[in-house]
Structure 1
Amino acid sequence: MGQFLLVCCCGGLGAVARFVLNTSIQRWWNRIFPLSTFIINVVAAFLAGIAAAAYYYQTVPYATYLLFVAGFLGGFSTFSTAINEMVSLLKVRQLGMAGAYFLLTVAIPFLAVVLGWWVGSRGH
């Protein structure tokens, strides 16, 4: 039960971090491309890659990995918001932007995980 509550707390911290970063980016970015969600998801993917490598190479214990990935990054990242933003772009007939956002939302976070794994596994 203690681990469950810790994951919940870490998830709450991740959600607060997402809110702060999202609000900060939206204050200066007022274009149609949903940059704040994109940046948040790329950062989360990069950090997940680092965490996965750290766990794989036994640099951190499973409990720490779980708290960070399932907890903090689970609350921080927001794939469902990205999908909703794609649908919103389609509703206002921004087909090219919706398609580009879809491709970028899949490809760039994937590359960020790979880069994060590479960074996290350096020295092993």
Structure 2
Amino acid sequence: MTFALVCLCGGFGAMARFVVTVSIQRWWTHRFPLPTFIINSVATFCAGVAAAAYAYQTVDHFAYLLFVTGFLGGFSTFSTAINEMVTLARKKELAMSFIYCVATIIVPIVCVSLGWMLIAVTQ
């Protein structure tokens, strides 16, 4: 039953990623892959909140598993970010590819930390 529920939550996460991506693409016309960047930033912040909530025993393992492994696993997309970096580099957009690479590494680390801090200050 847990397996099926994690899969279901992953499907909801993938649907949410699709909606967010399409919504942002409607108005974002620049080279920087903003939809994936926003999705991964939000996902890492939420993962930080969830991990801290689990560590402080605010949520149980089952809820953590459904949200982080299921929903956020379907919502976030590191493989798409890497593909976008390679695509930018192949189009000779080397500076943009480098900026995106650095931002894709640094910003999620900050987001996870902020998520943890949000929960830590409330404990």
Please report the TM-score for the alignment, with normalisation by the length of structure 2.
Answer: 0.99
Residue correspondence of structure 1 range 38-57 to structure 2 within 5 A: 38-57=37-56
Q: Quote the residue 2:86 is aligned against.
A: 87
Root-mean-square deviation (Å)? 0.5
Give yes or no for contact 1:47–1:116 (8 Å, CA) kept in 2: yes
Q: Quote the residue 1:70 is aligned against.
A: 69
1:7-62, Cα deviation, whole Å (9 max, x unpaired): 00000000000000000000000110000000000000000000000000000000
Return the offset for 1:68: 0.2
Q: Quote the residue 1:110 is aligned against.
A: 109
Return the offset for 1:120: 1.8
Q: Quote the residue 2:121 is aligned against.
A: 122
Return the offset for 1:121: 2.0
CA distance in 2, matches of 1:105, 1:44: 12
**Percent of aligned pairs with the same residue?**
59
Give yes or no for contact 1:41–1:77 (8 Å, CA) kept in 2: yes
Unaligned runs of 5+ in 1: none
Give yes or no for contact 1:10–1:67 (8 Å, CA) kept in 2: yes
Please report the TM-score for the alignment, with normalisation by the length of structure 1.
Answer: 0.98
1:78-111, Cα deviation, whole Å (9 max, x unpaired): 0000000000001100000000000000000100
User: Residue 28 of structure 1 aligns to a residue in which SS?
Assistant: coil
Tell me how many residue pairs correspond in the alignment.
Answer: 123
Q: Quote the residue 1:20 is aligned against.
A: 19
CA distance in 1, matches of 2:85, 2:48: 25
* Equivalent AA in structure 2 for residue 40 of structure 1: I
